[in-house]
Amino acid sequence: MLEIRNLNAHYGHSQVLYDISIDVKAGEFVSIIGANGAGKSTLMKVIMGLVPVSSGKLLFKGNEISRLEPWQRAGMKIAYVPEGRRVFGELTVAENLRIGGWVEPPQDLPRRVEKVVAIFPRLGERMNQAARTMSGGEQQMLAIGRALMLEPELLLVDEISMGLMPILVNRCFEVLKQLSEAGTTILLVEQNARKALGVSHRGYVLETGHIVLEGEATRLRDDDAVRRAYLGG
Amino acid sequence: MLVQQIINGIVVGSVYALTAMGATLVYGIMRILDISNAGAYAIGAYVAFFFLLQTGSPLVALVTGVALTAVFGFLVQKFLYAPLMNKSPNVSLIAGIGLFIFLQDFLRLVAGPQARELNFGTLLPSIQFPSLQLTLYGTWFLILAATALLLLILWLLLNRSPIGLAWRATAQDLETAKAMGINTNRVVAFNFILGYGFAAVAGILVGILYNSVYPTMGDVPAYKMLAVIVLGGLGNPLGTVLAALVIGMAETLIGGYVGFFLPRDAIAFVVLILILLWRPQGLLGRRRSS
């Protein structure tokens, strides 16, 4: 579904991603783990079109998308949960969800809102509340719910666990696992390697802009180098 | 006398609100202070003046003045600001100032340096109340009605329409709005069309109020526009209306009662400084936490 071939990208003048090749097949749940500053968020922004590709290929369902605007990629049903949630704080929950389904037919939105509320009943209670007045956990649910409004073919998730209480982290990973089991293709970048590899099929390890390791999630969890560097021994 | 001054203050404040609204909308999305918006103010007045001369119809003059200035706003966005969008905001600021100065001299070259009459006055008779020492000028009604109508339309547009929702989302977080599927190029273009249209209405109304248009008529409004948007909380349309009324009232009442110890425009800036010392984030601004 997503093919990245020999991709390089810069943030300003400095190169952040070097010769990245990643595959995500339809229905797969793939995690990219790595330390802070390894280039994970930049990679997500490159796929979404928020950071330009310097060279290399970026294919979605066989089509080169690296020259498309971000809103055109959203129109191809690539949804994005940004790092730090980035919900629209001054807008209500309902308005945030409306924007998540911006490229979809308006008459279909009520059905999608119902689906999101079925996953996160909390959002249903807060429909007319400004997003900034909600807790961090609720905002993370909203950020995921907003992305699901697209009924995405590819869901990009940037750091789902950041700044959340452990119980909420578990809840968020559980939701991703359920979405994956229901057939959604997911690409997750995550610092919490243990959790990420626990729910995904395959993983990549990103270090200072290079992919240094890839494989089945179970195999990565047992890899000595990965254990030492990312799983705490 | 007091009633006269208060109404006068509201009229002046209304004009400031319309003048600063264009730049407020632009700042809300682009985070740049668009000085050339004050140039649009003069352009609108001149286009209206020209069409009034040609057709004799105030309505044609008004509509073409606003419409052509709005088109001009679209072009400014497309050919000046869009290419600079990824540069530092200072670059856009300087470019905007440059365009503003160019527009003044362009108008001077094309229309001459002298003031011209923009006379809609015969359509708008004044009403006098000699016993109350009160004169209600017809132009005041025009300005108050136009301001109220335009602000109502703007409010409905921003709060009750899909393009308004897209505008508010883009103003809060342009990058995320893009990633959610909002064509932010279109939002920005719409923003400039609306912003320059507002500036044109303000310029035309001021031309009617003082019965004159001249190439540098945007000068003082440019400074006042900055004062009003800063005081309103930068990019907050409601704050801009409030700040415009505060400044309009302050300069009219202080100028009228305390006396002209300072020129009126100076009074406006003294008020600005005092209020900013008390509320650095502006009247309706929220303190930015990083």
The reported pLDDT for the residue numbered B3 is 82
Cβ of A99 within 8 Å of Cβ of B183? The answer is: no
pLDDT at B285 over 80: no
- In terms of Cα–Cα distance, which of A26, A30, A58, A32 is closest to A211? A32
Average pLDDT, whole number, for chain B? 86
The beta-carbon neighbor of A88 closest among B162, B169, B185 is B169
Instruction: Determine which of A67-76, A211-220, B203-212 has the lowest per-residue pLDDT on average.
Output: B203-212
Assembly ipTM: 0.92
Q: Name the token pair of A190.
A: 């995550």
- Residue B173 Ramachandran class (φ > 0 left, ψ -120 to 50 alpha, else beta): beta
pLDDT at B120 over 80: no
pLDDT at B95 over 80: yes
The reported pLDDT for the residue numbered B263 is 76
Alpha carbon distance B124, B137 (integer Å):
8
The reported pLDDT for the residue numbered A232 is 67
Cβ of B179 within 8 Å of Cβ of A82? The answer is: yes
The reported pLDDT for the residue numbered B194 is 92
Half-sphere exposure of B46 (CA within 13 A, CB side): 24
Alpha carbon distance B121, B111 (integer Å):
22
Q: Name the token pair of B161.
A: 């329409």
Which whole number is the average pLDDT over B252-265? Answer: 75
Shortest alpha-carbon distance between residue B226 and chain A (Å)? 24
pLDDT at B150 over 80: yes
pLDDT band at B261 (very low <50, low <70, confident <90, very high): low
Q: Under a CB-based contact definition with an 8 Å cutoff, are residues B66 and B201 in contact?
A: yes
pLDDT band at B260 (very low <50, low <70, confident <90, very high): low
Amino acid making up residue B34: D
Alpha carbon distance A160, A144 (integer Å):
9
Nearest residue on chain A to B181, alpha-carbon basis: A71
Nearest residue on chain A to B183, alpha-carbon basis: A71
The reported pLDDT for the residue numbered B30 is 82
Q: Under a CB-based contact definition with an 8 Å cutoff, are residues B69 and B40 in contact?
A: yes
The beta-carbon neighbor of B176 closest among A86, A98, A103 is A86
Cβ of A80 within 8 Å of Cβ of B172? The answer is: no
The reported pLDDT for the residue numbered A233 is 55
Q: Name the token pair of A218.
A: 């179970």
pLDDT band at B290 (very low <50, low <70, confident <90, very high): very low
- φ, ψ dihedrals at A36, nearest 5°: -55, 130
A/B interface, count of CB pairs below 8 Å? 63
pLDDT at B141 over 60: yes
Cβ of A99 within 8 Å of Cβ of B175? The answer is: no
Give the residue from B180, B183, B185 with the most A CB atoms within 10 Å of its CB, the best one to mutate. B180
Instruction: Determine which of A148-152, B261-265, B267-271 has the lowest per-residue pLDDT on average.
Output: B261-265
For chain B, domain boundaries:
2-118+130-219
The reported pLDDT for the residue numbered B114 is 86
Which whole number is the average pLDDT over B83-110? Answer: 88
Q: Strand, coil or helix: what is A162? A: coil
Beta strands A55-60; A2-11: pairing state: antiparallel
Cβ of A150 within 8 Å of Cβ of B181? The answer is: yes
Sequential DSSP letters for A121-140: HHHHHTTTSBGGGS-HHHHH
Nearest residue on chain B to A75, alpha-carbon basis: B181
Which whole number is the average pLDDT over B92-100? Answer: 90
- Domains of chain A with CATH codes: 1-77+153-161+187-233 (3.40.50.300)
Which whole number is the average pLDDT over A58-75? Answer: 96
The reported pLDDT for the residue numbered B199 is 92
From chain A, the residues in CB contact with B180 under 8 A are 71, 74, 80, 99-100, 102, 146
pLDDT at A157 over 90: yes
Paired residues of B116 in beta bridges? B213
Which whole number is the average pLDDT over A101-105? Answer: 94
